[in-house]
Amino acid sequence: MSTVGIIANPAAGKDIRRLVAHGRVVSNQEKANILRRVFAGIVSTGADRILVMPDHSGLARPGAHDVDGQIKIDYVEMPVADHQGASTNAARAMAEQGADCIVTLGGDGTNRVVAKGCGEVPLVPISTGTNNVFPANTEGTLAGIAAGSMAIGALSIEEACRRSKRIDIYVGGERRDDALVDAAVSTQMFVGARAVWDTKTLHAMFLTRAEPASIGLSSIGSRIMPISIDEGHGLYIRLAGEPGPNATTVRAPIAPGMISDVEILEWRKFFPGEKIKIDIHPGTIALDGEREVELLPNQDVYATLSMDGPWVVDVPKALMLLATR
């Protein structure tokens, strides 16, 4: 049964960066409208089923009503999503229940937790978050067509998808967490509001990609060494909190409407399998823009680059392939 999963994060696009920067607010009504377009696109491909992560806001209900009787709609049997882990659990359940593709609504953070559970199931990420390097501003109808086409087998992973990279964080020899775009080591001691907006607290950064047309912490790397999703290396940067004679100053958009001067001490390419020690204590590690890992004394912490991140559907390429057939 050809199946498309739907994971929409009600909390995406609503964090503290609406106060400290000028991040847009993506309302639940707009997310529901996007899903209505996604559902229409999926139905047009002839896919058999849509499998939805339940959430308190009922984001998928209007879209499900629109296509009632045209496609089977199922909900993942799980508690209603109200925390990060719910998206991981939903993605894992969808993979186990035969989803051929998963459409996500959210930002880098949403896709990071989805990627923990989706395995080899490709993602179609639609940007509704804040710092959106991983998801694209894809129109919902087109995203639905691409996802449905993957589900019915009209497109294959090899021809229509790109494999993402991943930064893995190891604590005491065990993988603690990971990031799809950037892992930033901060001198701030507590997770707090999670989001990072003060670059003076940053000690080091590990990037899987650094694209000049992106916004967020990875944009810092794009000012010194642009790196795409397809290149076989990442970027390691060591930062200085204040200007100094040995620092290079770059100006980068680290959040919507927030452009900062950042002092960089050194930078170099970062290759798969290489271990780079994180030796600042106390502190925290922000993963895809949100502080997640606390650094405590006497911990052995290091970062590595993996080439085994999630598959991502290249929607423009997918639609071009469909048009030629």
Q: pLDDT tens digits for 250-295?
A: 999 988 888 999 999 999 999 998 999 998 888 999 999 888 888 9
pLDDT for residue 320: 98
Q: pLDDT tens digits for 92-106?
A: 999 999 999 999 999
Opening angle at CA 201, ends 199 and 204, nearest 5: 80
Asked whether residue 5 carries a pLDDT value surpassing 80, the answer given is: yes
Q: What is the mean pLDDT of the chain?
A: 90
Cβ(322)–Cβ(155) under 8 Å? yes
**What residues pair up with 254 in beta bridges, in sequence order?**
none
Q: How far is 306 from 35, CA to CA, in rounded Å?
A: 32
Q: What is the DSSP string of 52-91?
A: E--BTT-TTHHHHHHTTTTSEEEE-SSSPB-SHHHHHHHH
pLDDT for residue 190: 63
Cβ(289)–Cβ(108) under 8 Å? yes
pLDDT for residue 317: 98
Count Cβ atoms within 10 A of the Cβ of residue 277 and give its class: 0-12 exposed, 13-18 middle, 19 or more buried. exposed
Cβ(170)–Cβ(151) under 8 Å? no
Segment holding 311, helix H or strand E: strand 311-313
Q: Model confidence at 82, in pLDDT bands (50, 70, 90)? A: low
Asked whether residue 13 carries a pLDDT value surpassing 70, the answer given is: no
Residue tagged 């909190």 (tokens): 241
Closest CA relative to residue 34, chosen from 60, 67, 58: 60
Q: How far is 151 from 99, CA to CA, in rounded Å?
A: 8
Cβ(311)–Cβ(123) under 8 Å? yes
Highest mean pLDDT range out of 131-140, 179-188, 292-301, 313-322? 313-322
Asked whether residue 64 carries a pLDDT value surpassing 90, the answer given is: yes
Whole-model pTM: value is 0.91
Asked whether residue 15 carries a pLDDT value surpassing 60, the answer given is: no
pLDDT for residue 11: 67
pLDDT for residue 56: 86
Domains of the chain, residue spans: 3-164+310-323, 166-306
Cβ(302)–Cβ(173) under 8 Å? no
pLDDT for residue 175: 95
Asked whether residue 298 carries a pLDDT value surpassing 70, the answer given is: yes
Sheet with 49-52, edge to edge strand ranges: 72-75, 49-52, 3-8, 101-106, 123-127, 311-313, 161-163
Helix (H/G/I), strand (E/B), else coil: 31: helix
pLDDT for residue 12: 63
Name residue 127's amino acid.
S
Asked whether residue 241 carries a pLDDT value surpassing 80, the answer given is: no
According to CATH, the topology of domain 3-164+310-323 is Rossmann fold (3.40.50)
Closest CA relative to residue 254, chosen from 202, 296, 196: 196
Residue tagged 């559902």 (tokens): 39
The answer as to CATH 2.60.200 being correct for domain 166-306 is yes
**What residues pair up with 272 in beta bridges, in sequence order?**
305
Highest mean pLDDT range out of 126-135, 188-197, 218-227? 218-227
Q: How far is 128 from 13, CA to CA, in rounded Å?
A: 6
Q: How far is 318 from 311, CA to CA, in rounded Å?
A: 13
% of the chain beyond a pLDDT of 90: 71
If you compute the radius of gyration of the chain from its CA atoms, what whole number of angstroms results? Answer: 20
Q: How far is 146 from 41, CA to CA, in rounded Å?
A: 8
**What residues pair up with 73 in beta bridges, in sequence order?**
50
Asked whether residue 244 carries a pLDDT value surpassing 80, the answer given is: no
Question: Average pLDDT in the 38-46 region?
Answer: 98
Cβ(199)–Cβ(187) under 8 Å? no
Asked whether residue 323 carries a pLDDT value surpassing 70, the answer given is: yes
Asked whether residue 212 carries a pLDDT value surpassing 60, the answer given is: yes
